[in-house]
């Protein structure tokens, strides 16, 4: 049972809460009061959609309240009692954020994503949205939905509702499978007939014998190659050892020649060095003394340069400050001249007054636009109606309709004129406000400039004497730096000559030591070279022997590779032939298997056709048994003794039994009944189909079920909603603008009302 529902910012519902009962719940109200949107909310809470949204007559954003003010989001909250468990489903939609949903069972979360919540609801209720929308929820003026469908489409949709469409799909798949099996079998049989299996087996045996011979020859040659490879390896190793000794001898010879050349060069270099008269000890002592003098001068010069740098920095800063002070004095005078008599406070007062004037213009224009839109909408609804009031659908004369239309058009002209006057006043005030803001900004800027320049402009008289004192001190320090630099250059020149003399002594000592080392190395290498006895002729003889062995080894290797390649080709031919034989044999097995499968599928298809026919007969029979009882309870007259759903090969038809010329005949309802009779017949069919499709039917939702009914038909409908239908369906929701349905016995009545002239929200009175 649906226990309650709460709608927040849902179309015309600001914050609506409804508590439902078992049995019949009647929702009464005029057009636009929010009745149908409440039923849409029930569908949306359960399955995340409703018929108008599913068929794109609505966008999700259209659900969120936009009058009298636009809201950012809307929500619906539904409570269900199923057995001993209480389920609570909540869904929220937003203009800017992702939609949200959750479902709870006895206060504990089950799912939180919209898709997962819908899956959970379908699992709990054992129905999906398609069954709900076709079997449980009848939209406004859509009771005769199945009667309006085209011939083929009606059969398709009723078969889908009854679950029979699955049999048709299974039949199509079975036919496709049989055809596919036949095609594959024919292709394989043709391939097998074109293949010579005995010849292929004979060829396989011949190739296998030839491969054995090739393998025996390869084994014999491999033994020869192995022996030759061992001999070649030993020869190569001995040749490498002899060759290494000879290369070592040649290296010693080359090294000795290089040492002799080096000794000659060193002797020549020693003769060119000019040695000083003083010893290295005396020169080092003098160098140390001069270094200390140079260090003292460098320290004194660094001290003067630091003072010079500080003075230059201070002088630069003072000159920049003086320049800035003189410039600010000029800017201060210019700012005073521009400011003149402008007063920022008086400008601010003018701005406040102008802003109030703009706000009043905007408010007046908004009010006129809202009233204009509502008047135009009402006028459009009036024009669409033919002889009926768009509110209550009661008769409306042409004269009264013209009079009302004329009055509304005059109101539209007044609203449009008010909007244009408000617009002109707003645009003028906006321009004047912009000018005032510009004047205020300029006055504030000039005042700030004067304040920032006044202090700086007064400093120039103090800065000029201070700058002259720093310039005199800087000139004296620069002279001292120049004098000390000259002394430093003289000492540096003397130290350079001392360094050159010391370097000459060190270079001569180094050459003498290197000459002694080279003589010793030359003597050692000559002794080692004399111990090596290998000659060039020994090397050449061994090289010729190795080349002969290597050529014979290569010849045998080529022969062995040729045999391996031939064997590889034979193995490939054997593998391909064996594979082809295996494929043909497997293909023969598959052909036999496909023949069996094709026969089984054909039998299955025949069984499907029989089962579908029997199931359709049983379902239609069940629907007609229910229709028989429902028709007696719903139809107040005796001219149609009954109605029944007839199944034909290409269509379903809802037919009424009527006596013509003393004989009972069955004729299509849409061809012989009035609009009201057709509505009652459609209601009976919908209830019967719902009870067959959903055996544990809990709910039935009917939107404007009394459309086209006369007073006696409505009275009969009241009796059905009061007595018979609540015994079949646990909970019934009836949406209507007809106050007569308030008479339904034991029903809970909800009266919906709304002030449409002021775009007010839906208000509920519960009876």
State pLDDT tens for residues 233-253: 888 888 787 888 878 888 888
User: CB–CB of 705/687 below 8 Å?
Assistant: no
Rounded distance between C-alpha atoms, residue 315 and residue 134, angstroms: 96
Please return the burial class of 638, using the count of CB atoms within 10 Å of its CB with bins 0-12, 13-18 and 19+.
exposed
Arithmetic mean of pLDDT, 358-387: 79
Helix 35-47 and helix 114-125, axial crossing angle in degrees, nearest 10: 90
Coil, strand or helix: which one is 69? Answer: coil
pLDDT number for residue 704: 81
Rounded distance between C-alpha atoms, residue 693 and residue 628, angstroms: 17
pLDDT value at 45 more than 60: yes
pLDDT number for residue 391: 53
* Beta-sheet pairing, 663-668 with 108-111: unpaired
pLDDT number for residue 573: 83
Half-sphere exposure at residue 12, Cβ-oriented, CA atoms within 13 angstroms: 21
User: CB–CB of 655/643 below 8 Å?
Assistant: yes
Average pLDDT, the chain: 81
Rounded distance between C-alpha atoms, residue 403 and residue 733, angstroms: 39
Helix 165-193 and helix 151-162, axial crossing angle in degrees, nearest 10: 90
User: CB–CB of 362/426 below 8 Å?
Assistant: yes
Edge-to-edge strand ranges of the sheet holding 85-94: 13-19, 2-10, 73-82, 85-94, 100-105, 108-111
Rounded distance between C-alpha atoms, residue 542 and residue 535, angstroms: 11
Rounded distance between C-alpha atoms, residue 263 and residue 396, angstroms: 136
Rounded distance between C-alpha atoms, residue 382 and residue 376, angstroms: 10
Find the length of the chain: 767
The DSSP 8-state label assigned to residue 761 in this structure reads P
Displacement of CA 351 from its chain's centroid (Å): 49
Q: What CATH fold (topology level) applies to the domain 2-155+697-766? A: Rossmann fold (3.40.50)
CA distances 419 to 378, 379, 427, Å, are 19, 19, 12
pLDDT number for residue 140: 47
Coil, strand or helix: which one is 686? Answer: helix
In 3D space, the residue among 168, 411, 342 whose CA is nearest the CA of residue 158 turns out to be: 168
Strand partners, 643: 656
Print burial letters for 525-559: b (CB count within 10 Å at least 16), e (below 16): beeebeeeebeeeeeeebeeeeeebeeebeebeee
Rounded distance between C-alpha atoms, residue 254 and residue 10, angstroms: 105
pLDDT number for residue 184: 80
User: CB–CB of 77/158 below 8 Å?
Assistant: no
Of the listed ranges 43-57, 288-302, 647-661, the one predicted with least confidence: 647-661
User: CB–CB of 62/74 below 8 Å?
Assistant: no
Rounded distance between C-alpha atoms, residue 651 and residue 649, angstroms: 6
CA distances 131 to 19, 135, 138, 227, Å, are 25, 5, 11, 89
Arithmetic mean of pLDDT, 457-486: 79
In 3D space, the residue among 580, 767, 722, 761 whose CA is nearest the CA of residue 74 turns out to be: 761
C-alpha dihedral sign at 557, 563, 566, 567: negative
| Cβ neighbours for 723, distance < 8 A, ≥ 6 positions apart | 745
pLDDT value at 260 more than 80: yes
In 3D space, the residue among 33, 41, 51 whose CA is nearest the CA of residue 8 turns out to be: 41
For 341-461, CATH gives: 1.10.287.510
In 3D space, the residue among 664, 669, 702 whose CA is nearest the CA of residue 683 turns out to be: 702
In 3D space, the residue among 130, 125, 136, 122 whose CA is nearest the CA of residue 157 turns out to be: 130
The model's pLDDT over 374-433, given as tens digits with 9 standing for 90+, comes to 888 877 777 776 666 555 555 667 777 787 788 878 888 887 888 888 888 888 888 888
What are the DSSP calls for 402-431, one per residue? HHHHHHHHHHHHHHHHHHHHHHHHHHHHHH
Arithmetic mean of pLDDT, 560-567: 82
In 3D space, the residue among 648, 634, 661, 638 whose CA is nearest the CA of residue 717 turns out to be: 634
Arithmetic mean of pLDDT, 44-56: 86
Q: Is the peptide bond before 387 cis (omega within 30 degrees of 0)?
A: no
Arithmetic mean of pLDDT, 464-484: 81
Rounded distance between C-alpha atoms, residue 539 and residue 89, angstroms: 101
- Report residue 670 as tokens: 């849409």
Displacement of CA 674 from its chain's centroid (Å): 54
pLDDT value at 142 more than 60: no
- Report residue 71 as tokens: 């809201």
CA distances 391 to 14, 101, 124, 379, Å, are 22, 36, 40, 12
Residue where the block lists tokens 């809201």: 71
User: CB–CB of 35/758 below 8 Å?
Assistant: no
The model's pLDDT over 317-345, given as tens digits with 9 standing for 90+, comes to 877 877 777 777 777 677 677 766 667 77
Coil, strand or helix: which one is 649? Answer: coil
Which of 20-34, 195-209, 211-225, 383-397 is modeled with the greatest confidence? Answer: 20-34
Displacement of CA 468 from its chain's centroid (Å): 74
| Cβ neighbours for 368, distance < 8 A, ≥ 6 positions apart | 415, 418, 419, 422
Phi–psi pair at 17, nearest 5 degrees = -125, 130
Rounded distance between C-alpha atoms, residue 575 and residue 569, angstroms: 10
The model's pLDDT over 272-307, given as tens digits with 9 standing for 90+, comes to 887 777 787 888 888 888 888 888 888 888 888 898
The model's pLDDT over 485-510, given as tens digits with 9 standing for 90+, comes to 888 888 888 888 888 888 888 888 88
- What is the C-alpha end-to-end distance of the chain, expressed in Å? 20
Rounded distance between C-alpha atoms, residue 246 and residue 532, angstroms: 8
More confident residue, 210 or 43: 43
Coil, strand or helix: which one is 68? Answer: coil
CA dihedral 182, 184, 190, 193 (to 10 degrees): -100
Residue where the block lists tokens 């005073």: 336
| Cβ neighbours for 184, distance < 8 A, ≥ 6 positions apart | 590, 594
What string of H, E and C letters represents the secondary structure of 120-157? HHHHHHCCCHHHHHHHHEECCCCCCHHHHCCHHHHHHH
State the CB neighbour count (10 A cutoff) for residue 215.
13
Phi–psi pair at 759, nearest 5 degrees = 55, 40
pLDDT value at 256 more than 90: no
pLDDT number for residue 382: 73
- Report residue 47 as tokens: 């399955």
């Amino acid at each position: 049972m649906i226990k309650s529902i709460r709608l927040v910012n849902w179309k015309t519902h600001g914050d609506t809460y409804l508590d439902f009962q078992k049995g019949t719940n009647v929702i009464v109200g005029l057009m636009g009061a929010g009745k149908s949107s409440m039923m849409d909310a029930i569908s949306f809470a359960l399955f995340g959609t409703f018929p108008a949204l599913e068929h794109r007559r609505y966008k999700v954003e259209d659900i969120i309240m936009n009058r009298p003010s636009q809201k950012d989001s809307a929500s619906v909250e539904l409570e269900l009692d199923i057995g001993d468990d209480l389920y609570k489903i909540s869904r929220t939609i937003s203009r800017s954020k992702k939609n949200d949903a959750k479902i709870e069972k006895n206060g504990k979360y089950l799912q939180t994503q919209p898709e997962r919540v819908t899956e959970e609801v379908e699992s709990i209720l054992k129905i999906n949205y398609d069954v709900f929308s076709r079997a449980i929820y009848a939209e406004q003026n859509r009771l005769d939905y199945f009667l309006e469908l085209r011939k083929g489409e009606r059969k398709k949709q009723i078969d889908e509702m009854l679950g029979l469409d699955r049999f048709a799909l299974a039949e199509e798949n079975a036919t496709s499978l049989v055809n596919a099996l036949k095609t594959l079998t024919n292709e394989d049989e043709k391939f097998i007939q074109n293949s010579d299996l005995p010849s292929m087996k004979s060829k396989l045996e011949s190739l296998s014998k030839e491969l054995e011979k090739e393998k025996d020859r390869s084994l014999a040659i491999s033994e020869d190659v192995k022996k030759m490879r061992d001999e070649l390896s030993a020869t190569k190793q001995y040749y490498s050892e002899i060759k290494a000794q000879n290369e070592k001898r040649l290296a010693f010879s080359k090294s000795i020649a290089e040492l002799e050349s080096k000794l000659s060069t060193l002797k020549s270099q020693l003769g060119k060095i000019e040695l000083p008269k003083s010893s290295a000890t005396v020169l080092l002592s003098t160098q140390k003394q001069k270094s200390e003098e140079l260090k003292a001068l460098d320290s004194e010069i660094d001290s003067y340069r630091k003072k010079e740098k500080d003075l230059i920095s201070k002088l630069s800063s003072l000159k920049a400050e003086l320049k800035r002070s003189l410039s600010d004095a000029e800017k201060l005078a210019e700012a005073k001249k521009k400011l003149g008599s402008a007063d920022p406070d008086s400008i601010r007062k003018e701005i406040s007054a102008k802003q109030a004037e703009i706000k009043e213009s905007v408010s007046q224009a908004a009010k006129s636009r809202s009233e204009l839109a509502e008047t135009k909408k009402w006028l459009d609804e009036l024009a669409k109606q033919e002889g009926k009031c768009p509110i209550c659908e009661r008769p409306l004369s042409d004269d009264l309709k013209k009079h009302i239309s004329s009055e509304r058009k005059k109101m539209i002209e007044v609203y449009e004129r008010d909007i244009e006057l408000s617009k002109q006043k707003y645009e003028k005030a906006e321009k004047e406000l912009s000018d005032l803001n510009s004047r205020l900004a300029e006055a504030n800027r000039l005042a700030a400039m004067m304040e920032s320049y006044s202090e700086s402009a007064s400093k120039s008289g103090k800065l000029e004497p201070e700058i002259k004192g720093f310039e005199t001190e800087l000139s004296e320090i620069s002279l001292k730096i120049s004098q000390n630099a000259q002394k430093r250059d003289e000492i540096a020149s003397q130290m350079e000559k001392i360094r050159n003399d010391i370097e000459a002594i060190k270079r001569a000592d180094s050459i003498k030591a290197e000459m002694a080392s080279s003589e010793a190395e030359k003597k050692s290498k000559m002794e080692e070279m004399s111990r090596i006895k290998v000659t060039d002729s020994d090397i050449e003889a061994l090289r010729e022997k190795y080349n002969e062995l290597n050529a014979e080894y290569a010849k045998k290797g080529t022969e062995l590779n040729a045999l391996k390649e031939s064997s590889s080709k034979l193995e490939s031919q054997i593998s391909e032939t064996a594979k082809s034989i295996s494929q043909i044999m497997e293909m023969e097995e598959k052909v036999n298997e496909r023949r069996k499968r094709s026969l089984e599928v054909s039998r299955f298809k025949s069984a499907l056709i029989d089962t579908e026919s029997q199931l359709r007969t049983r379902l239609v029979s069940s629907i007609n048994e229910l229709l028989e009882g429902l028709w007696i309870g719903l139809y107040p007259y005796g001219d149609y003794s009954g109605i029944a759903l007839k199944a034909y090969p290409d269509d379903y038809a809802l037919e009424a039994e009527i006596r013509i010329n003393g004989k009972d005949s069955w004729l299509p309802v849409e061809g012989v009944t009035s609009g009201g009779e057709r509505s009652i017949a459609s209601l009976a069919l919908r209830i019967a189909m719902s009870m067959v499709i959903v055996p544990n039917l809990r709910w039935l939702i009917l939107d404007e079920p009394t459309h086209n009914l006369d007073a006696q038909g409505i009275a009969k409908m009241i009796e059905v909603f009061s007595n018979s239908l609540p015994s079949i369906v646990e909970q019934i929701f009836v949406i209507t603008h007809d106050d007569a349905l308030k008479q339904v016995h034991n029903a809970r009545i909800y009266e919906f009302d709304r002030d449409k002239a002021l775009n007010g929200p839906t208000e509920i009175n519960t009876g």
